[in-house]
Structure 1
Amino acid sequence: MTKLFLATTIIFIIFNQNSFSQQKGGESKSFNPDSVIIFESPRPLVEVVKTESSINYALGGDLLISDSGFGIGLFYHRFMSNSTVLFSSLYISGARNSNEFDEYDYVNNTWQVNNKINRLFRFPLMFGVQQFVFQQSLDESLKPFISLGFGPTFILENPYTYNKVPNGEIIGWFEAFNHSQWHTRMGGFIGVGAYFGKISESLFGVNVKYYYVPFGDEGLESIAGLPIKNFGGLFISLTIGSTY
């Protein structure tokens, strides 16, 4: 009886396996390789490195010191090659040819500069060329250069006292602009300097320039009796800028 039961069970299993294997299934979906998900990197796989040869422009400012005190400046550079740069620059600085210190005036009961009659300011706007030198013999983190520029200098003559009377009553700063005069003179400069670090990332350097801006005629007076005939002079500047 047991053998008959086992035989019947085996026949039933075999029959059902054949039946299931012959059943028609649903339509299979075809494989489309275009449906594969493609993951794209959020950043370039190959980073583009900025080199000196890829620099076209530079823009920045200068902190100045001269024989007339402190000043500021702006510059724009156009890189023509790895060794030659065309530029324009604008400096703003006071102008004087002697030491000017405030002293107490007991007549007017105020502090003022003895015999001062004008506040003078100069705005040299220069265009020129800058040439890097010794590039083959020096490390790339040091780039010395020579520069040459030419252009107009705008000179502001701002009265210090009413009617420009020595040791007279001081005229207010803003009121003085109603009596100011502008003068324009042509001039130029020659200079040397150097940039430190990689200029492909930024500009940081020092410039030493000598400006020659002849005024002509009798010059302009900041201190009565001491006319300024050359509105140039020696400038030392700290340059900070960016390249792109």
Structure 2
Amino acid sequence: MLYILLIIIAVVTTATAIAQAAEPKKCCFPDQYTVLKGSTIATFTEETKAPLALYEAQDIAFDYTNGRIGYYANYTFFSGQDSQSTRVVEDMAKKLLWVIDPIKKQCTKSSLADFNTYRCIPENATYIGKSYFGDKSLYMDTWMFNTTDYLETAGLYSIAVDSNGCIPIGDSFNGKSTGAGVTQDVVSTSGYTNFELGIRDPDKYFKLPDYCKQVNNEPSKLLGLLQQTKL
């Protein structure tokens, strides 16, 4: 867990040290887009005193126009457990969360309380600074704020976005989760690639398979590991 903490500290420190610019206007993300997200996550379960480290790869579609987020996730555990794959569909309009196991062909449906998906950088966010990649080829602004989501995860979240298009570049999180009845300390750092405006195949991300008609209303065990994107 220490090396992840050092990465997060380095990202924030670098963004601050490279350039202290005037605070820009807080931006909003595009209405519809897809992106690949890779996250290194470390957790510590307080009940069992067990640490866990994993890599999560997500293929995500954000559809703020219709109030929904859908993604495929694959979890690779550094401690040797078998990898796991899942699909998640968040319907903010209907306040429903679907967790789909494509291997076992099982679905879990849960109710969602009202929550903020951070369509825009929130007003209470603190501006950290401006930095760039390459030979000043990509400028980004970094923001930090406290957050709480519907998976009962609360903590300090930072995100770097493209200064010209409010496109996510990377983020980090440090906090605590009590989702699915499991209390975990959580630290993560993430990067975004393959950003595309629009959603070419909405059904891929949002259409539920037929076997979801046989729905399981019990909370998914994967919920305790889902590192929900704060966007």
* Shorter-normalised TM range: 0.3 to 0.5
Return the TM-score normalized by structure 2: 0.36
RCO higher in structure (CA 8 A, sep ≥6)? 2
Return the TM-score normalized by structure 1: 0.35
Whose Rg is larger? 1
